[in-house]
Amino acid sequence: MHIHFIIHEAFETPGAYEQWAIDQHHTITYSRVYLNEPLPSSIDNIDFLIIMGGPQSPSTTKQECAYFNSQAEQAVILSAINAGKMVIGVCLGAQLIGEALGASHTQSPEKEIGKFPITLTQIGKDNLLFTDFGHTLDVGHWHNDMPGLTKDAQIIAYSEGCPRQIIAYSKFVYGFQCHMELTPEVVELLIAHSQKELSQAEKYRFVDTPDKLRSHDYTEMNQTLFAFLDKLSQRYLSPLEK
């Protein structure tokens, strides 16, 4: 398969998503927009579009961030969705999926930075792609906002601080407000960029200190993500699903 990543910042790397793609020997290409690399001009040869997070929001303008074009990214996302491709958005990427489908993002009730549990809804428990998640799973978080909901969207999981952690927009399209891709290396990049936020950790219910962030083991959530990606790609490749 051909997997294409849209990456907004050097410190918001694909982490475990990229590791899964490498381990599966998939073809990988990138649009590192912070380096002014172009978005894909066509999605014809792309099987799987993964849009990563960033400090921007879907409403961020070109004047506010010269290398981020929200409308252009939404057009690519919508093109991939309409073509029946697999699409996953992480954090900002999840919000962009919602926007592309006409559902506006909104502020999360709580800022979340760290590792905290998500809980599967009954819909999530019934979705065969998420059977490895159990009832609850500790996952990474690094956000202020959350994705919008279309009329057909299904909430797969929520947390105490955010009611929209994983959203199924369709059988091949998923928004992850949570960060299951975090690894110790990715966390170090985010810590380095987030010194001001993390210095105020004690003001928030769900914000870990840098030392706490470094102490977490992210292996289980990475492995759970891999299992989900395996099942999603198997669904996509099945002739019965086309």
CATH of the domain at 105: 3.40.50.880
Whether the per-residue pLDDT at 241 is higher than 80: the answer is: no
Give the number of C-alpha atoms closer than 13 A to the C-alpha of residue 163, restricted to the C-beta side: 7
User: Which residue type does 166 have?
Assistant: I
- pLDDT single digits (tens) 181-194: 999 999 999 999 99
Whether the per-residue pLDDT at 152 is higher than 60: the answer is: yes
- Give the structural domain span for 98: 2-241
At 31, the pLDDT band (50, 70, 90 cuts) reads very high
- Looking at residue 106, its pLDDT comes to 96
pTM over 0.75: yes
Specify whether the CB–CB gap between 96 and 73 falls below 8 A.
yes
- pLDDT single digits (tens) 88-139: 999 999 999 999 999 999 999 999 999 999 999 999 999 999 999 999 999 9
Average pLDDT over residues 177-206: 93
Residue in the block written with tokens 């793609």: 21
Specify whether the CB–CB gap between 234 and 47 falls below 8 A.
no
At 242, the pLDDT band (50, 70, 90 cuts) reads low
Q: Percentage of residues in the chain with pLDDT exceeding 70? A: 99
Helix axes 70-82, 92-100, angle to 10 degrees: 70
User: 207 — phi, psi (to 5°)?
Assistant: -130, 120
Domain count, the chain: 1
